[in-house]
Amino acid sequence: MAEARRLYPDFDITRSWALPDVPPLPDEDLGRYLTRLGFSEAQLQYTRRSYGNATGEALPFISAEAALAEMRDTTGGQGDYRILDGYDSVYTHLARGLDIRLNTPVTRIEWSPDGARIITEQASFEAEAVVITVPLGALQAGVIEFAPALPESKQQAIRSLKMGPGIKLVYRFAEPFAAPETMALYSALNPPMWWTPAFGHGTGEVVWTAFCTGDWARELLAQGEEGALMKALDTLRTEFSRPDLRPVDMHLVNWPADPYVMGGYSVTPPGQVAARAELARPVANRLFWAGEATASLPHVATVHGAYLSGERAAQEVLAAR
């Protein structure tokens, strides 16, 4: 990455975000804002491939105000880090000693000043308070019925945010084909982002993963599962000049088709920055809200944002009691 930033200044600015101190307009999207700053088409294309793809949508759907808040935030430190034992080690640790009911979809939540009742396909549960961590896409689809209905301000917040499409395409190969020091790449083709999760593990497995959102994901999903996997494979073949490259296995992770997710992760559209705080606000000290869509702006659409929102919701429950 450091070498790519040194060789390609147009790419570097999309990593450093050393932008002039020009405030965005209230309803300005990121593409229009960067164009107003003087970004070239090459710089905009790098932004679409890197920042836009990581954020979860095409530039016209991303609030410039929200994007700048993330670009200028330094609380997370520098660099990216991997959990070598896998993400499941995080929630396995957090769930120790708790009564966790798996495969128990919630269909209805009844709430009042006296408490709440959670109705599932198998049983119902009484509670003093409910912490709702359902992904934004499922909330927008109404997979859970609320009785009485949520306040209009809460419903408006749910409608105002956007759940961008996000997919992963995973390939396993019999033999290595990349240089040992190569762990990731950006492509001018689709998918634009690739990495090998096997890097550094010493397992002997050769696995490459592609990730794309927004228009990149829409283009691939329009091909169907087999078509998406083959089109993405053509990109990998092109990048490594290996037209003969054939995977042993390949798999499409289609989050928009998951009935409990219905998208990748939440995106702040232009003019909707305030919707985050409204979505996070408790209702009648009975319904509390967590999940990445309720996190503060620099941390939305991240695992650590979801974690921090859970801590915040827990504190709100304790304060209400």
DSSP, residue by residue, 107-158: EEEEEETTEEEEEESS-EEEES-EEE---HHHHHHT-SEEESPPPHHHHHHH
**CATH at residue 201:** 3.90.660.10
pLDDT of res. 188: 93
* 234 and 151 belong to one structural domain: no
Q: What share of the chain is helix, strand, coil (3-state, %, to 5)?
A: 40, 20, 40
Q: Are residues 149 and 276 in the same domain?
A: yes
Structural domain contains residue 137: yes
Structure tokens that stand for 42 in this block: 């090459």
Residue with tokens 């089109």: 231
Phi-psi region of 283 (alpha: psi -120 to 50; beta: other; left: phi over 0): beta
Among candidate residues 226, 257, 288, the one where a domain is terminated: 257
Examine residue 85 and state whether it is found in any structural domain, yes or no: no
For residue 89, tell me if it sits in a domain: no
Q: Which of 316, 287, 304, 307 is nearest to 73 (CA)?
A: 304
Is 309 inside a domain boundary? yes
> CA-CA distance, 77 to 196, in Å (whole number)?
23
Instruction: State the pLDDT at residue 3.
Output: 66
Number of domain units in the chain: 3
Are the CB atoms for 283 and 151 separated by under 8 Å?
A: yes
Q: For residue 133, is it within any domain?
A: yes
CA-CA distance, 163 to 265, in Å (whole number)?
6
50 with 119, same domain: the answer is: no
Residue 77 lies in a domain: no
Going from the first residue of the chain to its last (321 residues), give the mean pLDDT of each consecutive group of 10, the final group possibly shorter: 69 88 96 97 94 96 96 80 83 92 95 96 95 97 97 98 97 95 92 91 90 98 98 98 97 97 96 97 97 94 93 97 86
The range of the structural domain enclosing residue 301 comes to 97-162+267-320
Domain boundary among 257, 283, 312: 257
* Domain stop point among 257, 280, 301: 257
Question: Are 276 and 158 in the same domain?
Answer: yes
173/243 same-domain check: yes
Report pTM.
Answer: 0.92
Query: Rounded CA gap, 9 and 7, in Å?
Result: 6
DSSP state of 161: S
Residue 253 lies in a domain: yes
